[in-house]
Every structure is written in structure tokens, then in C-alpha cells.
Structure 1
């Protein structure tokens, strides 16, 4: 199969009506923090058991078309010895892999960060592909503060995202491009709009320079939200209006799917906001979907608590949240559905 057909086949499998992506790619420090909140020790066995529970959830493939895995998970197996990427694929869920190596401060841009991991990326991707990964994910983050992000920060991060995406496509791996404008801070929703617009413009200019085929990427952006400490909050209607206005200004129609990150929203907020966006989207050229981590997993972790006897109920919690977000993709979710 040619690289072009490989990329197209993966996009076809991942961009489905009513489906979204489960992000289960927490790094070791992050999953330790999530486990600690429910009094579970972050051992390799507990991580394997938890991620196995996620990927073997009955019916998961009805609403989830792809799963982003952490490197460790690619090599782990279910209790009966099946590789976890295979367990996902058998549900109709495309396995993918987070490939960035985390952020460091960007020199000469105080307050801005840049993501590491480009060195040796092609070799790592080749290995991940042999383990079953068909797409990858790379995240750049943009803190909002008085002087941040700087123009240097915006341009450097865009360049790194584009280099990563070009390397992925050269190997037949679909890149998820994630420019995350952080929710931390007390900034207004207008300030978030302004920063996100500048970030997205820079990202698409860089993708163009690096000859990345937009038909074979998935964009994973933040919604337009006020900072979590902002005195003035915003409802789903305003969030949807501003998010769609910003996307129309910056994201070319060639991009097949925009899968929002939840970025610190509660599961209910993330679903309600996704619903409002889809209800208002009209004839938007892209699919408007989700790629949630906490907003899908929080209820699962709270139900599971590291106990094998809770696994089935925890899987039901995941199925429910995935289903509600699937409904939100049609703009017909209501808060009443949370009670079912």
C-alpha cells in the first residue's frame, strides 16, 4: 500500500460520524497524579490493568474511533495475553501514540515553553508502527499571561509542530496536531480568542511551509474559553460562537476533522460545549469532534479505584460518557441525559 493510501485509510477509519478519540496517553507523572486522587499506586501492573479496562470496554467502538496511547501501553497486554493495541483494533478503534517528550522553557522567551522530542523521531515512529500505531500526537502549549505567548514562542512552537507532522506523513502515519492554549489564568474569553487566532495562523503557515498535506492531519485545538480564574465566566452559547468564529478565520477547509481537547473542563462542561458548537456549526467544512482525556476518564477512575470488582461498572461509565459526547456531535445532547 502506498503512503498516500495508508494515510487516507487511517483518516477514513478515524473520522467517522458520531465518533471521537479517547486520549489515554498520560505520562508517568500525570497518571501517578490521577491515580493518587483515587488512592491507587501508579505501578506498571495498575497502569496496565486500567488501560486494559479502557480498551476492552464492550461497545467502545460505537463512539470511539481512535485511542492515543502512552509508549508503555503499546507493549502491554490484556489479562489473557492480547497486545493492547490489538485489543483496541478489534473493537474498531485505531491505535495511536503520543510521541512528544514534554516541554522545557523556551530560551529568550520568558514564560513560554517548547516541546522536545524531534531528535530520533523517525526511528521511534518506525518502531511504534511495527507495534500497531497508525497515528501519532504531538502537543505544544501556550500559556496566556501579560506578555505570553510571545511572537517567538508562537512561531517556534508552530515550526516544531510542522516538522513533527511532516516526519509522520513521510512514514504513512497520520499526525494529530495539538496546539493547546492553556486554561490557566484569569484572562478574558476575548484574550483567549486573540491568542488562539495568532497561534492557529502560525501553525497553518508552518504546515504549509513544510508541505504537510492538510487532508491527512487531525487538528486537536482548545475551545475558546475564559481563564479558569477569570471573574467573568462564559456559557456554552458564547463559547461556541467564539470557537467557530476563530476556526473559520484560521483553519482551511481541507482539514477533515477538528477534535477538541477538554483542557481542564469537567466532563459535563466539555460535553455541553461540544454540543453547542455542533448545534451552531451549520455547514462547517470539518467534522467537529472530541479527543478527551479527563473529560472521558474522570468518572471511570472514580468508579474503578484500582479494584478488579469495579471494572465492569467503570467500563459502563466510560461507555456512557463516550455515548453522550457522540450525541453532542449531533447537537442534540441535553443535561437531562446525564441522569440516565
Structure 2
């Protein structure tokens, strides 16, 4: 755990987000060239997406020289790659730190934000995550309007759950995503930064978090967060930008690394030969790594 913490704090690279869940899985499969009429139920769908993730993770392009960590979906955590549980395969075979998406999706849009749905089995998920050698967790909320009270509620909820995760011996990735299409995105980001700093200042010396944020409208808006003593790392989501656009915007921000999902896998296809697949993934990995390390680092 301490080795993994040190790696997450100091090593160059980025985090691969492989955590598409129930709602986003059909879309992820479709991007990969697997149509909805090729599976008949959820179990078959998750088998297919695990095959896709296995192909990505076992590829020589999925390399710890470039990739620090990978975020998994719950069923991926319970699935195996080459006879090993996925997190063990990542840590032992690849030298990559495993994370787990733990949220249950988003609540309805209310006053400009979507809070997380209640995580009713949080203690059990965290117990199983520890058992499966998971390092940290990820949970997502969404901000669509610059409503100060609503943004405060998002951050309060994130840190309330985050403290339970810390108490269980894991490192939470706090993810209050600001919608990239929001008309007042810049104002939302200013409010969000204030709220995040309030909570960070109240953390004890042994309480550490990571932050996963939308790439800000004004470059280096979050620079103060990247140097905070309680923040292991600030990572950026691609948020719907193409890889080229996300990489370009990320390069403008010091000390923030990528945690891309669609932008990582957008050109991969089930029908590619192994050579084509590996070369395509290598190109994506290399470009995201370069964007993540373009600035000064920590």
C-alpha cells in the first residue's frame, strides 16, 4: 500500500478509466464495434465488456511506464484475467495501481447538480475491495450550474463518503465533474475550488484524497489543489472531449494528469487484428502520457 501511495504521488504517468458501468456499458461496447443485438442479457453484456477490458489490460501497450493506475467496475474486480483477480493481475503482472468505482450512479438533476445515489452497501463494498487488494475508490457527481448551495452539497456528500473510505484504509478519488457544456462552467469551477479547499483544510494528517476534475476553462484554476498536502494527485476526466482536444487542454495545466475513459479507447475496435489493436492503444497511451507529463510535474 505504501509503495502504491508513493507511486501515485510521485511517478509520471496517468490513470486509465476502465469503469463503464450499467448505463454506459452498451455505449462503450458500441464504440468498440459490438452492437446491442449481439447480446441478450446483462450477464452476456458484462462478459463482452470484460473481454474488451482484458484485451486492453493484457496488451503490451498497457504498460506501467506510462500508466500509473486503472479504475475498475465492481464486476471487473470480481472477474479474473489469466486466472488472477483483475486487481492482482494489474498490481503483480503490470505494476499498475488498482482503483474501484463504487458509486451507484447519479440522482435526478436538482438545483443544477446531480448528487450521488445513496451507496447503501458501502461497508460491504469497501470490505470486498480490501479483500481484492484495491488501493483506492472513485465516485462521481455532476455539476451543471453555478449554484453555490448545490455545489456545496455535492462536495459535502463526496467528503462524507470519502471519510468512510479513508477509515476503511483506502484512498478515495473525489469526482465532482463540472459538465463541459455548462454555460457557466468557469463560475462553477471557482465555487467548486473554494468548497474543495474548505474540506481539504479540515482533513487530518493521515487522511489523504485524490481529486478527479473536469479540465478547467481557465488553465491552472486548480493549481493550488495540486500542491495541497492532503491531495495525493489531481487527475482530469476527458468529459466528452475527443482525445486530441482533451490532451491539448490538459497540457495547459501544471501538475494535473489524465484519467481518461472514452478518450483512451475511442479508436479501439473488436475487429482489429492484435497488431492493429496494440498499435492503436499504444498511440493513445503515448499521447495521453505526453499530455500528462507536458508540464513541470509535482
TM-score range, shorter chain: 0.7 to 0.9
Unpaired runs of at least 5, structure 1: 1-5, 226-241, 282-286, 333-340
SS in 2 for 1:49: helix
SS in 2 for 1:220: strand
Q: Distance in 2 between matches of 1:212 and 1:178?
A: 20
How do residues 1-340 of structure 1 correspond to structure 2 at under 5 angstroms? 6=1, 8-37=2-31, 38-41=33-36, 43-59=45-61, 60-78=63-81, 80-89=82-91, 90-105=93-108, 109-143=110-144, 148-185=145-182, 187=183, 191-209=184-202, 211=203, 213=205, 216-225=208-217, 242-244=218-220, 246-248=221-223, 253-254=228-229, 255-277=231-253, 281=254, 287-300=255-268, 304-305=269-270, 307=271, 310-331=273-294
For the aligned residue pairs, the C-alpha RMSD in angstroms reads 2.3
Q: Distance in 2 between matches of 1:267 and 1:25?
A: 17
Q: Distance in 1 between matches of 2:155 and 2:282?
A: 35
Structure 1's consecutive aligned runs of 4 or more residues displaced over 6 angstroms after TM superposition are: none
Q: Distance in 2 between matches of 1:163 and 1:70?
A: 22
User: 1 or 2, which has the higher strand percentage?
Assistant: 2
Residues 213, 174 of structure 1: alpha-carbon distance in 2 compared, 3 angstrom cutoff: farther
Partner of 2:42: none
Residue range with higher mean Cα deviation, 253-262 or 214-223:
214-223
Q: Which has the larger radius of gyration?
A: 1
For the 8 Å contact 2:147–2:188, the answer to whether it is kept is no
Task: State the Cα distance separating 1:49 from its structure 2 match.
Answer: 0.7
How many residues align? The count is 284
TM-score (norm 1): 0.76
TM-score (norm 2): 0.86
Unpaired runs of at least 5, structure 2: 40-44
For the 8 Å contact 1:19–1:63, the answer to whether it is kept is yes
User: 1 or 2, which has the higher helix percentage?
Assistant: 1
Q: CA offsets, 1:2-56, max 9 Å, x none?
A: xxxx4x4332122343311000101122020122242434623211110101111
Q: CA offsets, 1:254-294, max 9 Å, x none?
A: 223211111011011111222233xxx4xxxxx32111101
Q: Distance in 2 between matches of 1:324 and 1:153?
A: 36
For the 8 Å contact 1:56–1:88, the answer to whether it is kept is no
Task: State the Cα distance separating 1:311 from its structure 2 match.
Answer: 4.0
